Amino acid sequence: MTGPRVAIVGAGIIGLAIGWRLRQRGVSDLALLDSGEPGAWHVAAGMLAPGGESAFEQPALVRLLDEANERWPAFAAELGVDVGYDATGTLGLAMTADDLAEAARVWTRQKLPLLRPSELREREPALSPRVRAGVHAPTERQVDPRKVVAALRDRLADRIVAKRVEDLSEVDADVVVVAAGCGTAELTGLPVRPVKGQLVRLRGEPGLLRHVLDATVDGRHVYLVPRADGEIVVGATQEERTDHAITAGGVHELLHAALDVVPGLAELELVETTVGHRPGTPDNAPLLGPLDGDRRVVVAAGHHRNGVLLAPITADLIAALVADGHADPLLAQFAPGRLERTPPGKSRLGESESESKRESKRENERESESQNERESESQNERENERENEREKRPGRF
C-alpha cells in the first residue's frame, strides 16, 4: 500500500520534516515542490527555547512548544549526521535593574534559580562585568537549521521538484500540504504575515562561548548562539515590515547589544549579515490541519519565531493526519479555521504589498513635484541674477 498521492508546497524545514515522516510511514507517491527561495530557516539561529519564546502565550501553545522540545534529541539523533545539536543550555542575562525586573517574570515562571554575576562568569568568563544577574536554562538547547535542512534534503533528494506554485489548483495530488511560510497567505487566504528579522554572523576561534546567551540589555533583547566551529550568530530584530533591506540601524542595534554582553566579540570577523521573514499569525500560534472549504488541503504554516523548534512535532502531527487519517487532539487548538480567511490571491500580505507599492508611487510623485519646484526656483533665481547684471552695466546714449 502506497497511501495517497501527496504534494508538499514548500521545501523548508517544516515541509522537509513532514516529507521525511511521510516517507517513513510508507507514502511513496510524494513530491516536495521547492520554489528555490530560502525560507525563514536559512536566517534562524536555531534556538530551541520553549520557555523564553512562550513566556506569556496561550497555554495550548506552551504545551506544544514543550512537547516539541522533548522530541528534538531523538529527531536530531535519527537524522544520523551532525546537525549542530547542543544541549549545553542557555544563560538568560539581565544587564540593569530594569532589565532584571522584566526578565525575572519569565524566570520565575520557569522556576529557574537566580545566579550571581560571579556564578555566571564561572560558566562564561567572557561575559561583561556589567551583567547584573541571570539564570541557567538547561532544557533550552540549540541546533543549526542549515545543517538540519541539508540533512533532510539529502534524504529526500529524489522527491524534491523545482516548482513555484502560484495557485493550488496547479497541484495534481490527492492531498496538498501547504508549508510555504509567508507564501501560505497567497495560496490559502489565511492571515500569515511576514515579520522581518535581521541577523549577523561572526567568526573567531572556537571556545569564546559555550552556552547560548539570551540577554536583555538596556531594554533591548539580543541572543548569541555559538557554534562549535567558532561562528556566533547574533540576532534578531523584529520588524513589522515586508522589505528585504539590511539596514545600518538594524546591524548597529544587534552589535551594540552583543558587545555590551561580550566585549570580546569586537575582535571577531563579521562574516554575514542577513535578513528573512518569520511567518506570523494574528495570535502568534501555528496553523496546523485541514483547510476549511477544501479538505484536500492541509496547512502547516505560521510558526513565527518557532519554526525550527516546532519542526519535529509538526512533522509527526501532519504525517499522522495525512498518511493514517489520525487527527491528534493537539491539532484542534491550532486549526486554520480559527482565523478568518480572505480569497486566495487577495491576502492581507498581498494587500500590504500593494499598499506599499502605491505608497512608493505616491512618494515618487511627491519627490518629482518637489524636484520640479526646486528646478523652477533655481531657474527664477538665475533669471533674477541675470536681470541684476544687466542693470549694473553702463547704459548707452
pLDDT tens-place string over residues 10-67: 999 999 999 999 999 999 999 999 999 889 999 999 999 997 655 456 889 999 999 9
Residue reference for cell 512618494: 363
Give the per-residue pLDDT at 388: 46
The span from the CA of 333 to the CA of 327, in Å, is 12
Q: DSSP characters for 178-199?
A: E--GGGHHHHH----EEEEEEE
Single-letter residue type at 82: D
Where does 90-137+194-277 sit in CATH, by number? 3.30.9.10
Q: Which grid coordinates are listed for 203?
A: 567568526
Give the per-residue pLDDT at 397: 25
Q: Pairing state of beta strands 141-142 and 47-48?
A: antiparallel
Where does 1-84+141-192+281-343 sit in CATH, by number? 3.50.50.60
CATH fold match for the domains 1-84+141-192+281-343 and 90-137+194-277: no
Q: DSSP characters for 48-84?
A: E-HHHHTTTS-HHHHHHHHHHHHHHHHHHHHH-S---
Q: What are the Cα distances from residue 67, in Å, to 48, 129, 199, 211?
A: 11, 36, 27, 22
233, 144 Cβ separation under 8 angstroms: no
The span from the CA of 353 to the CA of 336, in Å, is 23
**Using alpha carbons only, how large is the chain's radius of gyration in Å?**
26
Each domain of the chain, given as residue ranges in start order, spans 1-84+141-192+281-343, 90-137+194-277, 347-392
Give the per-residue pLDDT at 391: 40
pLDDT tens-place string over residues 333-373: 999 999 998 877 654 444 444 444 444 444 445 444 545 55
Closest CA to 219 of 114, 116, 94: 94
Single-letter residue type at 106: V
Q: What are the Cα distances from residue 127, in Å, to 75, 230, 265, 361?
A: 32, 17, 10, 48
What letter does residue 115 receive in the DSSP assignment? B
Reported residue count of the chain is 397
Give the per-residue pLDDT at 359: 42
Burial of 357 (0-12, 13-18, 19+ CB in 10 A): exposed
Give the per-residue pLDDT at 361: 43
The span from the CA of 64 to the CA of 159, in Å, is 29
Closest CA to 7 of 41, 39, 33: 33
Q: Which grid coordinates are listed for 189?
A: 487566504
Closest CA to 152 of 13, 353, 260: 13
| Residue numbers of the chain with a pLDDT score lower than 70 | 1-2, 52-57, 345-397
